[in-house]
Amino acid sequence: MKILKFLKKNTLFTIGMMLYGLVAIIEPGQIKSVAYYSYIYFKELFEVLPLIVLLATVIDAWIPKELILKKLGKDSGKMGYFYAYIIGSISAGPIYASFPIVRLLMEKGASVGNAVIIISAWAVIKVPMLVNEVKFLGMNYMILRWVLTIIAIFIMSQIVQKSVSKEEALASKSNSKIQPLEIIEAYCIGCGICSKISPADFEIIDEKAKVKEGYSLGPTIKAASNKCPTNAIVINGKRSIE
Amino acid sequence: MTIAVLKYWILAAMGIGTSYYVNKGKTKQSLYKSKIMVRSMMMDIIGILMIIGVIMAFIPMELITKYLGNDSQLGLSLLGASIVGGITIIPAFIAFPLVAALQEQGANIMVITAFLTTLTMVGVATMKIEIGEFGRKFTFIRNSLSFILAIAIAITMGVIL
């Protein structure tokens, strides 16, 4: 049962294993050259991996994200577009990790258009990923796709801005009661950092962090929230990035 | 290892070294976040490397050329790749080697670009969360526009490159 759960969680790994199995059954002689190509690409990928990690680290540590976010919240005018692209491009994590932050920015004054820019740039333009793109598809390819994407995102933001009002975009949320401490389950990757920092308040159940009963809001919870790689820990309705 | 990559390595090492020197705590914390992110992608990375091996060595080139590189049905391939990209959720990090392998095996540049761009910009799987935050109208318009513009980007890329 445990193995099944593991395979279901790691879909790509399962597909890879199945394909290898298929090759082994159909043409066992080929498995060696298949493995050889896997190895070649492994080498390529791990050549750039450290650079990507380092870039992501430096960006996370040094770009004054809070400052830019503050500027975006107000009526930011033309510079707002620029800030929106920057915020999207330097942020880590999957597209859905941007949603709560963008919503909050909108509540604080960011326009619908800027919301679209942040979400889209967050999804497509990742500075560390550009290195990976150059590595595998070439410099010309990367630059061209980057420029075209920036243009496309701008067009999109203007269309959405004209067709959806801010009230419409913000009306959807059911005003659920704000908890003093909660974890957004969709964002949690079950890394266990929070339970390590603050074992009295967090525990990992089924690879997801859960708030323990009888937790007490203190500095360790705040620290865990700051260290959470996906900013999934919400204190009084606020994520650490805010 | 090529010289170009080595150059980047040194550059990055110097960057992180400086960062560490200026603010140890900040750098350590960010480095830790990055480490966790990579670790959570590990199984996906291994999986994609296995899939790439099979694409490169086992699936006949003609087959990939026929479905992903054939000019006579480019429109269909383009649409198919965009749809697959829109519903799939794999980290962009591992999508690059995958499409590079496909391209080497005969896939058209427009087709792989469409896949790459919809993969990240269109999120069918995350639509439910998006609707929850921004409503149906916003979500629907944003995702449809992303889909159309991704194809436009792909076609432009194909024409220029």
Q: Would you state the pLDDT for residue A126?
A: 85
Q: Across residues B129-141, what is the average pLDDT?
A: 90
Set of chain A residues whose Cβ sits within 8 Å of the Cβ of B15: 54-55, 58
Looking at the structure, do residues B82 and B114 belong to the same domain, yes or no?
A: yes
Q: Do B75 and B108 belong together in one domain? A: yes
> What pLDDT is stored for residue A103 in this prediction?
86
For every residue of A30-44, DSSP letters joined together read GHHHHHHHHHHHHHH
* Range with top average pLDDT, A28-32, A187-191, B27-31: A28-32
B143 and B67 co-located in one domain: yes
Contact residues on chain A for B149, CB-CB shorter than 8 A? 152, 155-156
For residue A107, pLDDT over 50 is answered with yes
Same domain, B36 and B115: no
Do B80 and B127 sit in the same domain of this protein? yes
3-state secondary structure of A233: strand
* For B39, nearest residue in chain A (alpha carbons): A191
pLDDT at B45 over 70: yes
- Residue A241 forms contact with B (CB below 8 Å): no
Give chain B's mean pLDDT. Answer: 88
Q: Please, which pLDDT band fits residue A158 given cuts at 50, 70 and 90?
A: very high
B65 and B141 fall within a common domain: yes
pLDDT at B147: 95
Q: At residue B146, what is the residue type? A: S
- For residue B50, is it within any domain? no
Based on the domain organization, do B72 and B146 belong to the same domain? Answer: yes
Q: Is residue B51 part of a domain?
A: no
Nearest residue in B to A143, CA atom: B157
For residues B58-62, give the mean pLDDT.
88
For residues A67 and B139, give the distance between their C-alpha atoms in angstroms, rounded to a whole number. 28
Residue B98 has pLDDT above 60, yes or no: yes
- Asked whether A130 and A177 are in contact (CB, 8 A), the reply is no
Q: Is the dihedral of CA A90, A91, A95, A100 positive or negative?
A: negative
> In degrees to the nearest 10, what's the CA dihedral of A130, B41, A62, A144?
10
Answer whether residue B52 is part of any domain. Answer: no
Compare B22 and A178 and report the one with higher pLDDT: B22
Cβ–Cβ below 8 Å for A57 and B92: no
Q: Do B134 and B65 sit in the same domain of this protein?
A: yes
Does the residue B90 lie in any domain? yes
Q: What is the ipTM of this complex?
A: 0.88
| Chain B contact probe: residue of A53, A111, A197 with most B CBs at under 10 A | A53
pLDDT tens string A33-84: 999 999 999 988 878 887 888 888 888 888 887 788 877 766 667 888 999 9
Examine residue B125 and state whether it is found in any structural domain, yes or no: yes
* Cross-chain residue pair A145–B117, CB shorter than 8 Å: yes
pLDDT at A175 over 70: no
Judgement on whether residues B81 and B122 belong to the same structural domain of the protein:
yes
Residues B65 and B102 in one domain: yes
- Residues above pLDDT 70, as percent of chain A: 93
Say whether residue A120 is in contact with chain B using an 8 A CB cutoff. Answer: yes
Residue B53 counted as domain residue: no
User: Which residues in chain B touch residue A191, judged by CB atoms under 8 angstroms apart?
Assistant: 36, 39-40
Asked if A152's CB is within 8 angstroms of B153's CB, the reply is yes
Which residues of chain B lie closer than 8 angstroms to A16, CB-CB? 46-51, 54
Tokens encoding A112:
């619908």
For chain B, the domain total comes to 2
Confidence of residue A155 (pLDDT cuts 50, 70, 90): very high
How many A-B residue pairs are in contact by the CB < 8 A criterion? 250
> For residue B129, which of A149, A180, A102 has the smallest C-alpha distance?
A102
Q: How far is A38 from chain B (nearest CA, A)?
A: 4
Rounded CA separation B115/B154 (Å): 9
DSSP code at position A28: G
Selected residue with higher pLDDT from A116 and A79: A116
The pLDDT of residue A180 is above 90: no
Q: With bands split at pLDDT 50, 70 and 90, how would you rate the model's confidence at A242?
A: very low
Alpha-carbon distance of B26 to A124, in angstroms, equals 26
Q: For chain A, where are the E strands, in sequence order?
A: 181-183, 202-205, 208-211, 233-235, 238-239
Q: Using a CB cutoff of 8 Å and minimum separation of 24, what contacts does A216-225 make?
A: A217/A180, A217/A181, A221/A181, A223/A197, A223/A198, A224/A193, A224/A194, A224/A197, A224/A198, A225/A194
What per-residue confidence (pLDDT) applies to B53?
A: 93
- Residues of chain B neighbouring A49 (CB-CB closer than 8 A): 38
Q: Which domain holds residue B20?
A: 3-43
Distance CA A92, CA B52 (A): 25
Chain centroid offset of residue A83 CA = 18
Q: Which pLDDT score, from 0 to 100, does residue B1 have?
A: 53
Kindly tell me if the per-residue pLDDT of A182 is higher than 90.
no
* Sheet-wide strand order for A238-239: A181-183, A233-235, A238-239
Distance CA A233, CA A227 (A): 10
Handedness of CA B131, B135, B136, B137 (dihedral sign): negative
A199 touches chain B (CB under 8 A): no
For residue A149, name the pLDDT band (cuts at 50, 70, 90): very high
Do B35 and B67 reside in the same domain of the chain?
A: no
Q: What is the mean pLDDT of residues A222-242?
A: 76
CB–CB of B52 and A116 under 8 A? Answer: no
* B106 close to B61: Cβ distance less than 8 angstroms: yes
Tell me the C-alpha distance between A180 and B77, whole Å.
50
Distance from CA of B85 to the nearest CA of A (A): 13
pTM: 0.83
Rounded Cα gap, residues B37 and B40, in angstroms? 5
Residue B139: which of A159, A169, A103, A167 has the closest Cα? A169
From residue A173, alpha-carbon distances to A168, A169, A241, B134, B159 in Å are 10, 9, 21, 7, 43
Is residue B5 over pLDDT 90?
A: no
A172–B136 CB contact, under 8 Å:
yes
**pLDDT surpassing 80 at residue B57:** yes
Name, of B55-59, B128-132, B150-154, the range with top average pLDDT: B150-154
| Strand partners of residue A234 | A182, A239
Helix, strand, coil fractions of chain B, as percent rounded to 5: 85, 0, 15
Same domain, B92 and B117: yes
- State the average pLDDT over residues A140-159: 95
